[in-house]
Structure 1
Amino acid sequence: MKGSLVIDNVGDAIHSKSGEVIMPEAPDLEVIKDFLNLHVQGQSIESATILRPTVLRSLAGDFPADVQGRTFGSFQRRGKFLLGEISGGRWLVVNPMLTGAFQYCEAKERVQKKTCFTLSLDGDNELRYLDDRQMGMVYYISDDQMGQVPRLHEQGP
């Protein structure tokens, strides 16, 4: 893979013509979901590194140790949340809020200051979560903890 791709409209915030920040819309999250399903689904997680822990809430144990060796399943959207299925009954549930974004890139690419955590994947690629204002919320949970993610159960399709 040459270069990197920041998968957003979420990451740099979306602005109206008057300049006010707009929450990411469902079509933006659908594009991100489709990209992740195409490029990340089926890849094994070799390691995880937490750089800015504020946005990460791990309810399923020690995130870096627990996620290592697991494989990404499918990604789906529920309202303003992206849900990434991970083998062994785990989930990465992301509400990017205004400034959250994913970056899919080669591991050798410079890590940006706003990177919150990195997941090293097969083939020397990484999936990174970036959030300049640290407003987003990322939950690492097990199947039975889905109800503990605030506002997730209130979301429609």
Structure 2
Amino acid sequence: MKVLNLQCAHQHEFEGWFGSEDDYTSQLERGLVSCPMCGDVHIQKKLSAPRLNLRAGRQEAQAPAEPAAGTAVAIEQPRWRSPTWSAMQARIMQALREVMANTEDVGERFADEARAMHHGEVEHRQIRGQASPQEALELMEEGIEVIALPSVPGIKETLQ
């Protein structure tokens, strides 16, 4: 099994699991590899360090010395590439998956369904759907709680 660090053209980072390098290449060429955040199929592999399980008993690692002239040195990555940013992106994806799993998609009927529940015309349940900014504002003015969420194409599917 090959675990690859991938990135789309919009700088979203994610992990992909493939049976082999050929499997990854084949899926990429057929447009089957896409970003779970935005659905982009323009994917590139990122550099990743292999996980090495070294035996116990080796000497303690020493603090790195100053690099010699001509030695490459890593510079700080942009904020959106930091481990903190990646962790935040993962938490957002998890929260969106929970919303998707625990709500009913009513599509463009969202405003009408929310009003019908608010007025007791239909049974209360957790719903999601589409509403224009104007419709959302009107719902809030009527005392109906709504929250705008990003539209993430890959969120409905299990990512592997």
Asked whether the two chains share a fold, i.e. TM above 0.5, the reply is no
- TM-score, length of structure 2 as denominator length: 0.22
- For CA contacts below 8 A with separation 6 or more, give which structure has more relative contact order: 1
More strand by share: 1
TM-score computed with the length of structure 1 as normaliser: 0.22
Greater share of helix:
2
Could you say which structure has the larger radius of gyration? 2
